[in-house]
Structure 1
Amino acid sequence: MYRFLLTPRWLAGVTVALAAVTVCLWLGTWQLGRFQDRLATHRATDRPAAGAIPLEQLLTRDQPLVTTTTVGRTVLATGGYDTAHQLLVPSRLLGGEQGYFVLTPLRTDEDPAVAVVRGWAPDPPAADRVPAAPTGRVTVTGRLQAPEDSGRRGAIAGGLPSGQLGTISPAALVNLLPYPVYDGWVAADAAPAGLTPVADLRPQDGNGLTLRAFQNLGYTLEWFVFAGFVVFMGFRLALREAEVARDRALGLTESASVI
């Protein structure tokens, strides 16, 4: 009764169906992985601050990038502030109020420097009123933050005056600093008088558990449903073809194949 499955027409149909199911399952698994990555980032940032670890031990030559397991970790960075390249980062919200970050590169004992956000102050930015960074050798304790997506802040970065930065990322800093920097940046635990600490920042621009994460979960379900629908329709067509073949064998109908 099911010999029709061996015909070229059905073999081609089954091959296409299997390919469609494979693609749907792969896309669903990929979207599920994206959701799990965002969930891991959210949990990593929400966890209590663990013991501080030297930055050079967390970001190494073998693993130089900030990951979901290192973002939000409390780190130590030792070196000297480069006050000549201090930058203001505008359009930053803290407690629902608009303001700006004060970013000062810290030249570490290792080759790269690290971008340190020493604190936040309300708008309008006034460089002459920004508290000066300490001189000499210092040790900064803070939370490691992931680099920001330059594409999401492109509108902010455009047309900024000298001394301001729209996106905190190595890609944005490479054109402003005469030395390499670590991936990510550090939000200092303590801030000088006149600035507010930003060490408890959550990942920005949708890196945490936001609507975008649940969109990934929704897409996961959609792709799995699509795969199930292909399988369901395949069984329905096969059963229908079997019924037609049986009726034809009994001389009840002369209907053509369903596919």
Structure 2
Amino acid sequence: MHRFLLTPRWWGINVFVALGVPFCLFMGSWQLGRFEHRVDSHREATANAERPADRTATPLDSLLPVDRNTSGRLASASGEYGEQLLVPERTLDGKAGFYVLTMLKTDSGKAVPVVRGWLPGTADAARAPAAPTGRVEVTGALQASENAGTKGVHAGGGLPAGQLGVIAAASLVNIVPGELYDAWLTVQTAADGLTPVPAQAPANTGLDLKAFQNLGYTGEWFVFAAFVLFMWFRLYRREVETLRDTEAGLLPETEPAGSAARA
């Protein structure tokens, strides 16, 4: 009764199933791996962002370029503070305010933006405390350069002089002379009446829509695999029932191809 499985038609069906099911399982496992990777990245980035301020700092140059492993880690740099800028429209603990950002010219000759803290209200240079003079040792959480598409970041168009919309080397290159680090530091200890700005997890490491899309695709691929098996079993069962009914005389036997023409 099961000799029909060896017919060319069923050979095609069986090959499709043999290839389709493993492919669907592979794709589902790959999407699940992508989701788990994002979960691990989120945990690691959150752990780095919440790293206590008393952790041992690492020299800035050894942590570059910034990635999901180094973002949020404490970095140290020595040099002298220079030009001070304000970064408006920044929210902290649900309150609107602005960052006080000061450029630190490091011993290497390159400058790195340092967010010394946050103040509530409208950006006002008169309210921002002056940076320490002379040589300083700065320790802060390392952050990747922002981009205008980041949620909650002002693109910076039409801002007054002395204000910066996006903390990035690309935005500072026309404001600050000399070479710049493609990163910035946020001081984690309160000073001069400023509120420390917590480190933020890098972009594309959170449990965002993309992460849950991966999880959704995982379910879809596993459903596809189950559907292929279901359809194979349904076709198999229908074929068996048809042969059984034919043998029982409930259905006319199918004439071999070409028999009608010979008649």
Q: CA deviation at 1:21?
A: 4.7
| Separation (CA, whole Å) in 2 of partners of 1:6 and 1:179 | 72
Asked if 1 retains the 8 angstrom alpha-carbon contact of 2:79 and 2:136, the reply is yes
| 2:176 match | 177
Opposite residue 11 of structure 2, the aligned amino acid is T
SS of residue matched to 2:219? helix
How far apart, in 2, do the equivalents of 1:129 and 1:216 lie?
41
Give matches, 1:18-37, under 5 Å: 19-37=23-41
Residue-by-residue CA offset, 1:96-138 (whole Å, 9 max, x unaligned):
3211111111111124321101122222222234222222221
CA displacement at 1:206 relative to structure 2: 6.6
Cα distance in 1 for residues equivalent to 2:233 and 2:175? 68
Q: Is residue 236 from structure 1 mapped to residue 230 from structure 2 by the alignment?
A: yes
Q: What is the distance in 2 between the residues matched to 1:113 and 1:14? A: 60
Structure 2: distance between partners of 1:253 and 1:34: 58
Q: Which SS does the other structure have where 1:75 is aligned?
A: strand
Q: What is the Cα deviation at residue 221 of structure 1?
A: 3.2
Would the alpha carbon gap of residues 123 and 222 (structure 1) be closer, same or farther in structure 2, given more than 3 Å must change? same
Structure 2: segments with no counterpart, 5+ residues: 253-263
Unaligned runs of 5+ in 1: 255-259
Listed as ranges, the matches of 1:53-68 within 5 Å are 53-57=58-62, 59=63, 64-68=64-68
Please give the alpha-carbon distance, in whole angstroms, between the structure 2 residues aligned to 1:204 and 1:98. 20
Letter matched to residue 3 of structure 1? L
Q: Which moved more, 1:118-127 or 1:154-163?
A: 154-163
2:159 is equivalent to residue 186 of structure 1: no
Report the equivalent of 1:164.
163
* Paired position in structure 2 for 1:80: 80
Check 1:98–1:32 CA distance in 2 against 1; reply closer, same or farther (3 A cut): same
Instruction: Give the TM-score taking structure 2 as reference length.
Output: 0.77
- Deviation track 1:5-40 (CA, whole Å, cap 9, x = no partner) reads 753465456655655554444333323322321221
Q: Flag the 1:24–1:81 CA change in 2: closer, same or farther, 3 A.
A: same
Q: Is the 8 A contact 1:21 1:231 kept in 2?
A: yes
Q: 1:93 to 1:204 in 2, by over 3 A?
A: farther
Report SS of the residue matched to 1:34: helix
Q: Is the 8 A contact 1:42 1:208 kept in 2?
A: no
Q: Deviation at 1:189?
A: 3.5
1:105 to 99, 103, 106: 103
8 A contact 2:89–2:154 mirrored in 1: no
Q: Which has the larger radius of gyration?
A: 2
Query: RMSD over aligned Cα, in angstroms?
Result: 3.1
The amino acid of 1:118's aligned partner reads R
Per-residue deviation, 1:202: 3.9
TM score, norm. by length of structure 1: 0.78
Task: Give % identity.
Answer: 35
Aligned to 1:219: 213
SS at match of 2:36: helix
